[in-house]
């Protein structure tokens, strides 16, 4: 039997990536729209990724008894004191979109020697009655001199993943899912679900 789960996100790109990674393992991932769920806007005001993921998951838990996962993620750039970090989505909207945010980052880093960065993804699983469980993925890399590649979303064109030596946006979706922060967090979630007989 399939294991059915809700992903508490408004980000269609996240939903696509999570689906692609989990569905081969007999896990059906529903988005909020699929089930016509409209959680109240909960302010993501925690000071950790896991805290924000829990806020998102709890806001959906009020509306359903199904298992829920929520993803809070961000890009930390060392030379920017680990910003935009927790506020990666807000930084992009304040800049006027990801293209402008990317340009702001590139301008800031123009004369900086250290361009190291990392992507973090915290996934919280909420199952009725159970304590929230955390699955984390972290990927090291650096910020490219200019945008490269057409794939992906968000900051993908400037994040060079050290493992493959190219930006997320230059990778196929399959490649990104294998090495990405989200892919790594989901791999840990999958191991947990397999051990508990919920996934193949
Ligand atoms: P939800 O809160 O509804 O899930 P969101 O996009 O607001 O959607 P976050 O608060 O977790 O999600 O913000 C994550 C931001 O970090 C996201 O909007 C992008 O700017 C960036 N980000 C996260 N994962 C990324 C990825 O795989 N590639 C590029 N940028 C990513």
What are the tens digits of pLDDT across the range 171-185?
Answer: 999 999 999 999 999
User: Is residue 93 one of the residues assigned to a domain?
Assistant: yes
User: Is residue 45 one of the residues assigned to a domain?
Assistant: yes
Note the pTM of the prediction, 2 decimals: 0.97
User: Is residue 200 one of the residues assigned to a domain?
Assistant: no
Question: What count of residues does the chain have?
Answer: 200
Q: What is the domain extent for residue 128?
A: 3-195
Query: What single string gives the DSSP state of each residue in 60-126?
Result: HHTT-SS-EEEEEEEEEEGGGTTEEGGGHHHHHHHHTSHHHHHHHHHHHHTT-S--EEEEEEEEEEE
- For range 81-89, the mean pLDDT: 98
- Does residue 184's CB lie within 6 angstroms of at least one atom of ligand 1? no
Q: How many domains does the chain have?
A: 1
Structure confidence at residue 129 as a pLDDT band (50, 70, 90)? confident
CATH assignment at residue 65:
3.90.950.10
- Does residue 122's CB lie within 6 angstroms of at least one atom of ligand 1? no
CA angle 46, 124, 97 (to 5 degrees): 60
CA of 179 to the centre of ligand 1 (A): 17
| Catalytic residue numbers, as ranges | 72
User: Is residue 107 one of the residues assigned to a domain?
Assistant: yes
Pocket test for ligand 1, best of 41, 154, 181 (most atoms within 8 A of CB): 154
Structure confidence at residue 128 as a pLDDT band (50, 70, 90)? confident
């Amino acid at each position: 039997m399939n294991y059915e789960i809700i992903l508490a996100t408004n980000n269609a790109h996240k939903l696509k990536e999570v689906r692609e990674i989990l569905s081969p393992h007999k896990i059906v991932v529903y988005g909020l729209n699929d089930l016509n769920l409209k959680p109240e806007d909960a302010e993501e005001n925690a000071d950790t990724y896991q805290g924000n993921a829990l806020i998102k998951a709890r806001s959906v838990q009020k509306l359903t008894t199904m298992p829920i996962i929520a993803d809070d993620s961000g890009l930390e750039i060392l030379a920017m004191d680990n910003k935009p970090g927790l506020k990666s989505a807000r930084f992009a909207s304040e800049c006027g979109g990801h293209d402008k945010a990317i340009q702001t980052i590139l301008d800031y880093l123009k004369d900086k020697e250290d361009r190291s960065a990392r992507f973090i993804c915290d996934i919280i699983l909420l199952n009725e009655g159970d304590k929230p469980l955390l699955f984390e993925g972290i990927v090291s890399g650096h910020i490219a001199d200019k945008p490269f590649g057409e794939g992906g979303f968000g900051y993908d064109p400037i994040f060079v993943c050290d493992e493959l030596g190219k930006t997320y946006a230059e990778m196929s979706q399959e490649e990104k899912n294998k090495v990405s922060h989200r892919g790594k967090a989901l791999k840990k979630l999958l191991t947990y679900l397999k051990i508990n007989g919920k996934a193949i």
